[in-house]
């Protein structure tokens, strides 16, 4: 059974749909191990689930889907597995970017690209350039990303603007800080989903998840199909999102 947790943030109501869904896609390795297959088989299966998730969200009218593909901590994994993951990322971009473009989906890859090899960096830039003017769903892939890295990058950017005289310290607000983070220009996530059974956010979108509804499920990522997605969306629709207000205030505002 899914384990659902709420950060008690306005009543969504039956049929409510999150504008932005963020997902930690966990459980690929365990999925493979349970089938006595190499861990990489699970990562391949996970790519197929990514494709299905993108299609599902686009059909349902979700505006933004952010997927945590590779964290800054994942470099600690065995070198062979990291190399295979990098090659899989490159291959997936090569195979999918034209399909994304044909379906009007805009791709953004966020994270520190410096450690990636030149071929992968070039492919990311090509995919982003190809889809930049599309008007459909935003697909954000977080690769070599960490929430603390994101906050530090934003702070550094603002500090540089202050040093150049472009910005006064007193002009730095939550809004200006948000505009310096990786999801600048996009709505904050309404729903966070983590598959695989762990109940933590693992350094993902630390700034942006302040009022996000959290949903955890034991389902491993390769098994997270449309039915599992519908369960997560039903959980979200049942939540009461108050953003610091009382229930009475929320209901009065909706009246």
Of 74, 87, 134, 203, the active-site residue reads 74
Residue of 241, 228, 185 lying closest to 63 (CA atoms): 185
Q: What angle do CA 140, 146, 150 make, to 5 degrees?
A: 80
Over residues 210-233, the pLDDT tens digits come to 999 999 999 999 999 999 999 999
Integer Cα distance of 117 and 126 in angstroms: 14
Residues with Cβ within 8 Å of residue 138, at least 6 apart in sequence: 63, 64, 65, 105, 106, 108, 186
Residue of 236, 194, 230 lying closest to 211 (CA atoms): 236
Three-state SS for 14? coil
Please state the pTM of the whole predicted model. Answer: 0.89
Over residues 111-157, the pLDDT tens digits come to 999 999 999 999 999 999 999 999 999 999 999 999 999 999 999 99
Of 7, 26, 102, 227, the active-site residue reads 26
Can 134 be counted among the known catalytic residues?
Answer: no
Can 74 be counted among the known catalytic residues?
Answer: yes
- Domains contained in the chain, CATH given: 3-254 (3.40.1180.10)
Neighbours of 23 (CB within 10 A): 26
């Amino acid at each position: 059974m899914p384990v659902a947790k709420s950060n008690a943030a306005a009543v969504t109501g039956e049929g409510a749909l999150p504008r932005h869904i963020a997902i930690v896609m966990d459980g690929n390795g365990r999925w493979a191990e349970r089938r006595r297959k190499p861990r990489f088989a699970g990562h391949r299966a996970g790519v197929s689930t990514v494709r299905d998730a993108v299609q599902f969200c686009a059909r349902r009218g979700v505006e933004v889907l952010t997927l945590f593909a590779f964290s800054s901590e994942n470099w600690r994994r065995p070198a062979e597995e990291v190399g295979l993951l990098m090659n899989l990322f490159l291959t997936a971009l090569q195979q999918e970017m034209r399909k994304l473009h044909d379906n009007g989906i805009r791709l953004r890859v966020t994270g520190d690209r410096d450690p990636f090899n030149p071929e992968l960096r070039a492919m990311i830039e090509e995919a982003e350039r190809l889809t930049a003017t599309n008007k459909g769903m935003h697909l954000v892939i977080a690769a070599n990303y960490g929430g603390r890295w994101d906050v530090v990058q934003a702070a550094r950017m603002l500090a540089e603007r202050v040093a150049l005289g472009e910005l006064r310290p007193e002009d730095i607000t939550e809004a200006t800080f948000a505009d310096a983070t990786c999801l600048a220009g996009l709505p904050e996530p309404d729903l966070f989903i983590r598959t695989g059974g762990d109940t933590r956010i693992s350094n993902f979108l630390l700034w942006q998840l302040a009022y996000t509804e959290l949903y955890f499920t034991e389902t491993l990522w390769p098994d997270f199909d449309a039915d599992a997605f519908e369960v997560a969306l039903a959980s979200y629709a049942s939540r009461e999102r108050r953003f610091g207000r009382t229930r009475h205030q929320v209901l009065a505002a909706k009246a």
